[in-house]
Every structure is written in C-alpha cells, then in structure tokens.
Amino acid sequence: MGDRRIPEATVARLPEYLTALVELAASGVATVASEGLAQAMGVTSSQVRKDLSFLGTYGTRGVGYAVEELLHHISGLLGLNREWSAVLVGVGNLGRALASYGGLAQRGFRLAALVDADPAKAGTRVSGVEVEALEELPRIVARERATIAIVTVPAEAAQDVADRLVDAGITSVLNFAPVHLSVPPHVRVRKVDLATELLILAYYENARSRGEPHDAPAGVAEHARPVAGSDAS
Amino acid sequence: MGDRRIPEATVARLPEYLTALVELAASGVATVASEGLAQAMGVTSSQVRKDLSFLGTYGTRGVGYAVEELLHHISGLLGLNREWSAVLVGVGNLGRALASYGGLAQRGFRLAALVDADPAKAGTRVSGVEVEALEELPRIVARERATIAIVTVPAEAAQDVADRLVDAGITSVLNFAPVHLSVPPHVRVRKVDLATELLILAYYENARSRGEPHDAPAGVAEHARPVAGSDAS
C-alpha cells in the first residue's frame, strides 16, 4: 500500500485520523469499525471506508480496522517516523507564539531556525533558539537541511521572503501572511487564515440569532482542520 | 432561500466562496460558471453546484451565478452585514498576535475586550485595547454583548476559562489551546490546531522524498481552510 495517489481531501483528513487513532490506542482499543472512526471524526462511515481504501486499507469484515496497524501506516505517510526541520521567518508575536507552541515538537517538527529581517532581533533568543538575519537564509536552510518554512512576516514582506526561501531550497511553505504567494511549480504553499474559523462560528451565531435550524448537533466540540483548495488569486 | 439546513462541510467552505467572489467582483466579473468557481476554490464543479443548491441558489443555465447577488447572500449568511464583538482570553504571544491581526476587523470581528488572569497585565494596552482581569469576565461579556470568545490561554487553564465564558453567556468559542473543552450542548467550540497544517505539508514532503506521485498539481498555492468534524475526545 505504497504509491497510490491519495486525494487531497483525504490527505487533509489524515491528521485527524491520527488524533482519533492515538486516542483509541491509548484507551486500549485494538480494532475499530468504520462507524466508530466516523463518529470520532464527524464524517460519514462511507467516507471513512473510502478514505482508508485510498490508503490501501480495507479492514476485516465484522471486525473493523486494526488500530495499531492503521496508526503505524498513517504515521508513516505523515512522516512522523522522522524529524522535520522547519525554518520560521518573522519573529513577531505570531512567530514567537509558534516558536513556543509545544504542539509542533510533539508531531516531530523542530523549529531549527528563527529568522528576522530586523537587525535588532538577530542574536536574541526565543524559546532557546537564536534569531538569525534574513541574509543568512541560504546558509541556514542548507545547514539545517530544511525543506519546510513557516512565514509569519507582514503581508508586504511575504513575497520577498518566499522568493528567498525558494532560492534557498525550501519546497513547502506554510504562509500565515494574509497575501497570495507566487512560487514555482515545485513548491507547495499552504495559506492559513486565522479569520476563517471565526467566520464559520459567526455563521452559526447568525443562524442562531435568526432562530434558524443549524446543521450538526450543538454542543459537539468541533475540531477545525484544513482541507486544501487552490488559492483564489 | 432562508431556513434550509446547510451541511457543515458546506458552511466550512463559505468563507472560501466569499474570498473567491470578492476577487471576482473586484475584477468586474458579473457572472461566473460553476467551473470558474470550482477552479478558484480547488473543488469540483459538481461540488460547487451542490454547495450552492444548499444555499437555495441554482444559477442560470448558460449564464452561471450572479457574482454580486451570491456575494451578498453569502455575506448575509456569515453575518458580515453586522459587527461581531469577540472577547479574547489569554494575552500571551498568540493572543497578542491575534489582537494585532488586521484580518479580523476586515471581516467584521471587533476584539472588544482582552482578558488575562495575570494581574500584572491588567491595565496594559495591546493594539489599543486595555487588558482586563479574568474576574471581570461576566461584566465584560454583558457590557460588549459578546457571544464569541477566542481562547489563547495555556492548555491547563483552558477548561476553567471555558467554564467562566459559558457562565458569562458566551455561545461560540474558538479554542487555540491544545486541549478538548467540555461545554454544555448550546455552546459551539471550534478547535484550531496549528500543527495540522504542518502535518499536511509533511505528507507531501514525505511522498516527494519517497519519489511517489502525489495528487494535486504541485505549485498550486493551497488555501488552508477548516472543515468541521467532531472532536475525537
């Protein structure tokens, strides 16, 4: 079950499958039916069967999916069996927040380097990592063998930073700047918009204030997760 | 086209339809075919037709959807015709980053109040807003008529903060703390996990390093956006 093409929407759900499976494994559950996974994830069981069939996993009739085996498989696909070195550019509030966010290290992401254009920040330390100058980027990326970068600079600086990252050899960019980045075909950009989540909550608040029915049971905590779509610009 | 139940996955795509439509309107495009919207969003055109039919919008055969009309309709559903007052609890790096994030105000979200448990922070100002004490929460929520709260406190403080917010009358919570929050049935929680995005990028880096084909054209900038699913815990 190796070189199949897995649809983008299924890939985007893999982190959530991982979370559900980690919790099942921790609870000592050995096998899980598609219905059980579906409930944990808030999707339909036919979606679960479809997703997992893309991974080449079909479960056993009347038994379900082997939790540890599936967990191992998805961990492998997500590269959790190795450490990823990421370079973060833009040591402002958001950059600092990400640098101190424990969740990254838990998933095998090491913020190998923090980079900022402000000379006054170079040499200072954030969460134990020294901030380095933007001009050093090519050397830093090579030194850390980094392929992933996180961009937390202001919108007007983001394209210049993206160009520098691409020149330095970065092939995956997580962009928090509220701007569309142009990159060559071999580079993958994901854009995170912190306001999107609030808009979705506003939809439900709005429906509530109009007294309209709203889908999905209230009180069920939702797990926001990303699904890739092409940037509209 | 009012009181239909709109599926949660469609709701989660509304902010992205909005972005695409705003750009089309800005470019002077009057009507758009489902294929055009599909391309802008990275979904199939049948998905676009399905989503918009849930909104009660069917377009005109051979013409497509009226951009301004659809934009107006979706803006209304998302409550963009009104201002939302949100209360942010936890004025650390992430809280500060959100407070200074221009994207919120653009979408009609006013961070009406910043709250922190640390007495040393009370009275200081962040992005022009004075930080208030956690004990003041009931009074603050009433004063601002806020229904939405953003939680950016450490994991160990998040449940206590959530309880206080619910007691104060908050009905929608955007939770950045890496922990599951228990809330009563009438309260909606969305959890944002900043590592999820990186995991998805890691999947593609991993596939690349194995020399496997990976779905979705490389070089297409992706717009990360959330789709609701129930929390696994």
Q: pLDDT tens digit string along A104-117?
A: 887 888 899 999 99
Mean pLDDT of A201-213: 80
Please name which of A207, A194, A146 lies closest in space to residue B76, comparing C-alpha atoms.
Answer: A207
Mean pLDDT of B132-153: 96
CA-based nearest residue in chain B for residue A185: B219
User: In the predicted model, is pLDDT for residue B22 greater than 80?
Assistant: yes
Say whether A206 and B19 touch across the interface (CB within 8 A).
no
The DSSP output letter for B43 is S
Say whether B197 and A192 touch across the interface (CB within 8 A).
yes
Instruction: End-to-end CA distance of chain A: give it in Å, rounded.
Output: 36
Element (H, E) at A225: strand A222-227
Rounded to the nearest angstrom, the minimum Cα separation between B104 and chain A is 6
Instruction: Check if the beta carbon of residue B172 is closer than 8 Å to that of residue B180.
Output: no
Structure tokens at B37: 């919207």
> How many contacts (CB atoms, under 8 Å) link A and B?
343
Instruction: Check if the beta carbon of residue B161 is closer than 8 Å to that of residue B134.
Output: yes
Say whether A7 and B215 touch across the interface (CB within 8 A).
yes
SS3 at position B146: coil
User: In the predicted model, is pLDDT for residue A164 greater than 90?
Assistant: yes
Percent helix, strand, coil in chain A, to 5, is 45, 20, 35
Residue of B13, B91, B199, B209 to mutate for A, most A C-beta atoms under 10 A: B199
Q: Which residues of B6-22 are buried (b: 16+ CB within 10 A; e: fewer)?
A: bebbbbbbbbbbbbbbe
Rounded to the nearest angstrom, the minimum Cα separation between B92 and chain A is 8
CA-based nearest residue in chain A for residue B180: A221
User: In the predicted model, is pLDDT for residue B81 greater than 90?
Assistant: no
Amino acid at A131: V
Pairing of the two strands B65-66 and B31-32: antiparallel
- Residue B208: Cβ within 10 Å count: 17
Comparing CB atoms, the residue among A171, A206, A233 nearest residue B79 is A206
**What pLDDT is stored for residue A218 in this prediction?**
41
- Range in A122-126, A127-131, A190-194, B97-101 with the lowest mean pLDDT: A190-194
Confidence of residue A221 (pLDDT cuts 50, 70, 90): very low
Instruction: Check if the beta carbon of residue B115 is closer than 8 Å to that of residue B170.
Output: no
**What pLDDT is stored for residue A212 in this prediction?**
66
**How far is residue A153's CA from residue A90's CA, in Å, rounded to a whole number?**
4
Rounded to the nearest angstrom, the minimum Cα separation between B216 and chain A is 6
**What pLDDT is stored for residue A40 in this prediction?**
74
* Per-chain mean pLDDT for chain A: 84
% of chain B residues with pLDDT over 90:
45
Which residues in chain A touch residue B207, judged by CB atoms under 8 angstroms apart? 77
Say whether B203 and A109 touch across the interface (CB within 8 A).
no
- Range in A2-11, B1-10, B121-130, B216-225 with the lowest mean pLDDT: B216-225
Task: Give Cβ neighbours of residue B144 (< 8 Å, ≥ 6 apart).
Answer: B85, B87, B112, B113
pLDDT in tens, B180-189: 788 999 999 9
**What pLDDT is stored for residue B4 in this prediction?**
58
Residue of A104, A176, A194 to mutate for B, most B C-beta atoms under 10 A: A194
Which residues in chain B touch residue A194, judged by CB atoms under 8 angstroms apart? 98, 101, 103-104, 192
User: In the predicted model, is pLDDT for residue A211 greater than 90?
Assistant: no
- Residue A197: Cβ within 10 Å count: 24
Instruction: Check if the beta carbon of residue A74 is closer than 8 Å to that of residue A21.
Output: yes
Instruction: Check if the beta carbon of residue A65 is closer than 8 Å to that of residue A55.
Output: no
Instruction: Check if the beta carbon of residue A165 is closer than 8 Å to that of residue B71.
Output: no
Which residues in chain A touch residue B81, judged by CB atoms under 8 angstroms apart? none
SS3 at position B31: strand
pLDDT in tens, B193-229: 778 888 888 888 888 877 765 544 443 344 444 333 3
Say whether B216 and A228 touch across the interface (CB within 8 A).
yes
- Residue A60: Cβ within 10 Å count: 9
Which residues in chain B touch residue A186, judged by CB atoms under 8 angstroms apart? 218-219
Amino acid at A104: L
The strand ranges marked E within chain B are 31-32, 65-66, 84-89, 109-116, 125-126, 129-133, 148-151, 172-175, 188-192, 222-227
pTM: 0.73
Rounded to the nearest angstrom, the minimum Cα separation between B135 and chain A is 25
Rounded to the nearest angstrom, the minimum Cα separation between B177 and chain A is 10
User: In the predicted model, is pLDDT for residue A226 greater than 60?
Assistant: no
Rounded to the nearest angstrom, the minimum Cα separation between A178 and chain B is 7
Distances from the Cα of A177 to the Cα of A84, A151, A180, A193, B22, angstroms: 22, 7, 8, 8, 18
Element (H, E) at A190: strand A188-192
Q: How many CA atoms lie within 13 A of B186 on its CB side?
A: 9
* Per-chain mean pLDDT for chain B: 84
Q: How many CA atoms lie within 13 A of B168 on its CB side?
A: 28
Which residues in chain A touch residue B183, judged by CB atoms under 8 angstroms apart? 219, 221
pLDDT in tens, A38-92: 877 767 888 899 999 999 888 888 889 999 999 999 999 988 888 899 999 999 9
CA-based nearest residue in chain A for residue B75: A203
Element (H, E) at A88: strand A84-89
User: In the predicted model, is pLDDT for residue B41 greater than 60?
Assistant: yes
Comparing CB atoms, the residue among B104, B180, B222 nearest residue A190 is B222
Mean pLDDT of B151-163: 95
**How far is residue A105's CA from residue A101's CA, in Å, rounded to a whole number?**
8
CA-based nearest residue in chain A for residue B126: A93
pLDDT in tens, B49-66: 999 999 988 888 888 999
Confidence of residue A217 (pLDDT cuts 50, 70, 90): very low
Angle at B163 between CA B226 and CA A106, to 5 degrees: 50
Task: Give Cβ neighbours of residue A57 (< 8 Å, ≥ 6 apart).
Answer: A1, A65, A70, A73
User: In the predicted model, is pLDDT for residue A215 greater than 60?
Assistant: no
**What pLDDT is stored for residue B212 in this prediction?**
66
Comparing CB atoms, the residue among A12, A84, A96 nearest residue B200 is A12
Say whether B42 and A224 touch across the interface (CB within 8 A).
no
**What pLDDT is stored for residue B65 in this prediction?**
94
Please name which of B96, B104, B103 lies closest in space to residue B129, comparing C-alpha atoms.
Answer: B96
Confidence of residue A34 (pLDDT cuts 50, 70, 90): very high
Q: Where are the alpha helices (DSSP H) in A27-101?
A: 34-41, 45-54, 67-77, 93-99
Mean pLDDT of B11-38: 89
Comparing CB atoms, the residue among B98, B208, B212 nearest residue A194 is B98
**What pLDDT is stored for residue A133 in this prediction?**
97
**What pLDDT is stored for residue B213 in this prediction?**
57
